[in-house]
Amino acid sequence: MVSADVSRVAVLGLGLVGGSLARLLHARGLAVVGYDADPAALDAARDAGLETADDVPGVLAGADLVVLAVPLRVMEPTAREVARHVAGTADATVTDVGSVKGPVRRAVEAAGLGERYVGAHPMAGTERSGFGASSADLVRGVPWAVTVTRATAGGRLAALLRLLTGPLEGTVAVLTDELHDEAAALVSHVPHVLATQLLNAVAGTPVREVALGLAAGSFRDGTRVALTDPARTEAMVVENAAWVAPALRRAVRDLEMLVAALETGAPVHGFFHAADGVRAVRREMPAEPGAARARGVQDEPPVALAGDWPAALRERCAAGAVVVGMTADEVLLGL
């Protein structure tokens, strides 16, 4: 199964997500070539049967889709390096897999790649890192966010949507950078901060060893993402500070109110039941990667590939719809 619009993909960065994406593209029969600045990652990718290149010009050669899968801290120099060599890539579209979109767009625009860029973020990951932790299953069938502006070319967006909903079997929410970053702060970045604080709380207590000896499921589940490389989490949170900071202020406010109620014997029912509606939705969410297609079972009216269809699609996705497929003339939507 291949995409009619993407024939060769260059993946720059073969860590957890980049390596997983390269593995899945290869498994689906697409031509994919990977590059990483770490020779050990290149060796591991070759041992896994992937085609690799030894430098940026080599990985870009012949690609019509370039995926920036490098850490946020090196996104800007990587974008500049790509810009120096991208002229020979047959007008390749540039995308990424970063968990923050605004800063990445600014980096690619500063490098002169803005008109080629369509942002992307697979909602998948683990606490592990590196190519050795990568797996095709990690990104197979997962929800993606794709971010656009008024200047985004419809053809580039359509090609990426066909790839994500076709060979990669995912669903896609097409959003603005701002909406993505606000939502990602709530469901990804703030949870990383709170999980880190749970570890910090245990690390700073005199009963640390006893507490760790008694820790079971709630501590394991609540701190799993805090086992991620702290430098990676720090970069993610700092890059999205504009949305993470106010979300944390709200969390601190609610916790302070809970503390005051506990200290004074006031009712705390409201704190524990305020999210009952979200709790019901959360119980229905798939527990494993690859279950994203279930969101598309309820049909929505499609969006015709005519006029300013990217803007129309963005509005529909902002209201909760997701892209579940493409035809020659329409974007297929579900909930």
Q: In the predicted model, is pLDDT for residue 295 greater than 60?
A: no
Report yes or no on 276 lying in a domain. no
- Residue 244 and residue 128 share a domain: no
- Residue 222 and residue 192 share a domain: yes
- Residue 220 and residue 164 share a domain: no
- Residue 185 and residue 171 share a domain: no
Q: In the predicted model, is pLDDT for residue 292 greater than 50?
A: no
How large is the angle between the packed helices 39-47 and 16-27, nearest 10 degrees?
30
Q: In the predicted model, is pLDDT for residue 294 greater than 50?
A: no
Report yes or no on 104 lying in a domain. yes
- Residue 147 and residue 226 share a domain: no
Domain boundary among 249, 265, 281: 265
* Residues 267-272, mean pLDDT to the nearest whole number: 97
157-199 residue pLDDT tens: 999 999 999 999 999 999 999 999 999 999 999 999 999 999 9
- Residue 228 and residue 88 share a domain: no
Amino acid 27: pLDDT:
97
C-alpha 335/C-alpha 324 separation (Å) is: 9
* Residues 92-108, mean pLDDT to the nearest whole number: 97
Amino acid 107: pLDDT:
97
- Residue 200 and residue 165 share a domain: no
Percent with pLDDT over 70 in the chain: 95
Amino acid 282: pLDDT:
87
State phi, psi for 42 to the nearest 5 degrees.
Answer: -65, -45
Amino acid 127: pLDDT:
87
Percent with pLDDT over 90 in the chain: 89
Report yes or no on 280 lying in a domain. no
- Residue 132 and residue 20 share a domain: yes
What is the domain count for the chain?
A: 2
Report yes or no on 151 lying in a domain. yes
- Residue 217 and residue 91 share a domain: no
198-234 residue pLDDT tens: 999 999 999 999 999 999 999 999 999 999 999 999 9
Amino acid 87: pLDDT:
77
Report yes or no on 109 lying in a domain. yes
CATH of the domain at 306: 3.40.50.720
Report yes or no on 129 lying in a domain. yes
- Residue 188 and residue 69 share a domain: no
Amino acid 158: pLDDT:
97
Please give the single-letter amino acid code of residue 28. R
Mean pLDDT score of the chain: 93
pLDDT band at 138 (very low <50, low <70, confident <90, very high): very high
C-alpha 124/C-alpha 136 separation (Å) is: 11
Q: In the predicted model, is pLDDT for residue 310 greater than 60?
A: yes
Report yes or no on 281 lying in a domain. no
Report yes or no on 2 lying in a domain. no
Count of residues in the chain: 335
Which residue range is the domain that position 260 belongs to?
Answer: 181-265
- Residue 252 and residue 124 share a domain: no
DSSP result, 183-240: HHIIIIIHHHHHHHHHHHHHHTSTTHHHHHHH--HHHHHHHGGGGS-HHHHHHHHHHT
**130 to 94, 164, 228, 304, 320: CA distances (angstroms):** 22, 23, 11, 40, 33
pLDDT band at 298 (very low <50, low <70, confident <90, very high): low
Q: In the predicted model, is pLDDT for residue 293 greater than 60?
A: no
Q: In the predicted model, is pLDDT for residue 322 greater than 80?
A: yes
Neighbours of 121 (CB within 10 A): 25
C-alpha 308/C-alpha 172 separation (Å) is: 18
- Residue 35 and residue 159 share a domain: yes
31-89 residue pLDDT tens: 999 999 999 999 999 999 999 999 999 999 999 999 999 999 999 999 999 999 997 77
Amino acid 335: pLDDT:
86
Amino acid 288: pLDDT:
58
CATH of the domain at 190: 1.10.3660.10
State phi, psi for 193 to the nearest 5 degrees.
Answer: -65, -45
Euclidean distance between the first and final Cα of the chain, in Å? 25
Neighbours of 260 (CB within 10 A): 11
pTM of structure: 0.92
* Residues 110-117, mean pLDDT to the nearest whole number: 96
Amino acid 286: pLDDT:
66
